[in-house]
């Protein structure tokens, strides 16, 4: 195994473990003493927490914490000072951008398949946004504008999330100067789309939840 391969293992594992923390479940227990998995859609993400307990403060807190799970590992690794410090301690080269995307993918995978929830979890939208916000702020802005626009028009969280994910990927493809980054970025967004399979079925059948 090369130094570059070794260098990504620990950051990816730590990112996965951070991503696996089910903040939605913790917030629901702290604020209401209940299990959010037993209400609404049964999801532990910010959308279901907002549906069950309201957006403020429970839904907003869950959203911010889920975003932080994706952003924090990359912020630490992307920062020149901390990344060089970690590189010296680990004795491995600084991670490339494509490897940073892979670390971000690990955080989203941890959120979607949390070992604390029998490898179940959320849909990964907020955590993926945290990753994109660090790696490509312009693409993240495109995603936010898309989500807000679609949600205001349809009041359907899943449709807004899926539209934002697709526009984010399109934006990344246009802005990327390194084609190698597109593969892990596309894998990350594909995971988000895959986690919305049931929502796609509900949208096609006209039974998806609409926020009033």
Per-residue pLDDT of the chain (212 residues; tens, 9 = 90+): 454 556 788 889 999 999 999 999 999 999 989 899 999 888 999 989 988 999 899 999 999 999 999 999 998 887 766 666 666 555 556 788 888 999 999 999 999 999 999 999 999 999 999 999 999 999 999 999 999 999 999 888 888 988 998 898 889 888 876 677 788 888 998 999 899 888 888 887 877 777 76
pLDDT, position 1: 47
In the chain, where the domains are located: 3-205
Query: In angstroms, rounded to a whole number, what is the distance separating the alpha carbons of residues 138 and 205?
Result: 34
Question: Over 96-140, what HEC string results?
Answer: CHHHHHHHHHHHHHHHHCEHHHCCECCCCHHHHHHHHHHHCHHHH
CB 159 within 8 A of CB 202: no
What are the residues whose beta carbons fall under 8 Å from the beta carbon of 184, sequence distance 6 or more? 98, 101, 102, 104, 105
Maximal C-alpha separation, the chain: 55
- pLDDT at position 118 is 94
Full DSSP string of 6-73? HHHHHHHHHHHHHHT--HHHHHHHHHHSS-GGGSTTS--SHHHHHHHH-IIIIIHHHHHHHHHHHHHH
């Amino acid at each position: 195994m090369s130094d570059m391969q070794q260098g990504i293992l620990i950051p990816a594992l730590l990112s996965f473990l951070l991503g696996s923390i089910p903040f939605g479940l913790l917030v629901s227990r702290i604020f209401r003493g209940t299990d959010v998995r037993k209400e609404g859609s049964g999801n532990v993400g910010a959308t279901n927490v907002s549906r069950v307990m309201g957006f403020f403060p429970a839904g907003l807190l869950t959203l911010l914490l889920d975003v932080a799970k994706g952003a924090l590992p990359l912020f630490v690794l992307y920062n020149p000072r901390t990344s060089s410090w970690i590189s010296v301690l680990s004795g491995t080269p600084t991670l490339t951008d494509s490897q940073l995307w892979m670390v971000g993918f690990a955080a989203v995978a941890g959120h979607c398949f949390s070992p604390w929830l029998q490898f179940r979890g959320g849909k990964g939208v907020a955590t993926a946004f945290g990753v994109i916000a660090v790696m490509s702020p312009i693409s993240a802005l495109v995603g936010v504008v898309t989500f807000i626009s679609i949600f205001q028009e349809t009041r359907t969280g899943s449709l807004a999330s899926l539209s934002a994910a697709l526009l984010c990927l399109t934006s990344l493809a246009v802005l990327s100067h390194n084609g190698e980054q597109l593969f892990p970025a596309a894998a990350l967004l594909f995971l988000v789309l895959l986690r919305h399979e049931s929502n796609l079925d509900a949208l096609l059948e006209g039974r998806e939840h609409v926020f009033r």
